[in-house]
Amino acid sequence: MSTPHGTALVTGASSGIGAAYAQRLAAAGWDTVLVARRAQRLDDLAQRLREATGTTVETLVADLSDPGDLARVTRRAAGDDIGFLLNNAGINGYGPFGELEEDLMTKVLGINVLAVTALTRAAVPGMLARGRGTVVNVASLLAFAGALPPHPLPERAVYGGTKGYVVTFTRTLAAELAGTPLRIQVLCPGLTATEFHRSRGDQPVPGRDPSVHEDGGMPVDRVVDASLAALDAGEVVCVPGLGDRALVDDLARAELAIRTAARRGGD
Ligand SMILES: NC(=O)c1ccc[n+]([C@@H]2O[C@H](COP(=O)([O-])OP(=O)(O)OC[C@H]3O[C@@H](n4cnc5c(N)ncnc54)[C@H](OP(=O)(O)O)[C@@H]3O)[C@@H](O)[C@H]2O)c1
């Protein structure tokens, strides 16, 4: 039997932010579809969620960089029970740009950009027709200032670019859907304590701890807390740990001032 909430589809649910978010959604009564490549991890989480919450949990083992797998997940995201989409799966592909393998570059773009866009495109029409729905896309703090001095983070051009896409895509879509009942958010965590920095893509980085980022980072539950609170507050851009929310408004004002001034300059 489905819950009153409907179903939440969570990509990258086998670890880190996605697993924590799926847990919170299930605890709040959502049925869930857990998507990732590691079947055993998904099965273990599904079992825990069913036992703890009594909700219905599906697992969908898929590699989002594979067109056939992405098509399968896209079809599920278009299901008429989907009320929440969390586009969370992501890989980093860090390394000197000139040495980035073409295959890894394609995977980073496929998972971080194409899959996010395709799944959102699949889910939104049904959400609009049903008059409710939530889309949360996970970007990164890196999208805002990753390249800026005094502490630019090198070797992240493609990753930073994909996360910049997710920020712009989500903000622009949110503007288009303003006035509809849909809630749209881009979640921009800073360094978070997950397995994320263990690998660049498919293979672990030699010598890295297999479970936790070597520099620590924000606990995943705080990232999820921030996202859920921002949804309640109707905020499109969520930056966990940012005490002064007015800074996001300052950024928007600065962008608008640049656009306005550039238009005047073009007269
Ligand atoms: N950790 C940080 O410091 C940090 C900071 C800012 C933003 N983020 C963003 O947060 C999101 C979640 O990352 P995380 O920190 O929670 O890292 P994580 O623990 O490594 O989780 C990444 C998730 O993505 C899934 N995934 C990776 N490649 C996939 C593929 N080809 N197909 C399907 N699923 C795939 C992984 O599952 P499988 O391996 O089982 O497929 C895993 O569930 C990412 O978008 C990341 O860019 C992380």
pLDDT of residue 2: 46
* Strand extents, DSSP E, the chain: 7-11, 31-36, 57-61, 82-87, 134-138, 183-187, 237-238
pLDDT of residue 264: 84
Question: Tokens 């300059």 — which residue?
Answer: 265
Residue 66 carries which side chain, given as an amino acid letter?
D
pLDDT of residue 221: 97
pLDDT of residue 5: 74
pLDDT of residue 14: 96
Residue nearest to atom 18 of ligand 1 (CA): 196
Which ligand 1 atom is the nearest neighbour of the CA of 202?
28
Which ligand 1 atom is the nearest neighbour of the CA of 14?
43
Kindly state if the Cβ of 93 falls inside 6 Å of ligand 1: no
Q: Which domains does the chain have, with CATH numbers?
A: 7-265 (3.40.50.720)
Task: Give me the residues of the chain with pLDDT under 50, please.
Answer: 1-2, 205, 207-212, 214
Give catalytic status of residue 159 as yes or no. Answer: yes
pLDDT of residue 4: 60
pLDDT of residue 243: 86
Q: How many CB atoms lie within 10 A of CB 208?
A: 14
Instruction: Report how far residue 117's alpha carbon sits from residue 127's, in angstroms, rounded to the nearest whole number.
Output: 15
pLDDT of residue 149: 83
Integer CA distances (angstroms), 145 to 22, 34, 95, 149, 257, in order: 29, 31, 18, 8, 18
pLDDT of residue 214: 46
Kindly state if the Cβ of 194 falls inside 6 Å of ligand 1: yes
Kindly state if the Cβ of 70 falls inside 6 Å of ligand 1: no
Q: pTM score, two decimals? A: 0.94
Q: Decide if 44 contacts 248 (C-beta within 8 A).
A: no
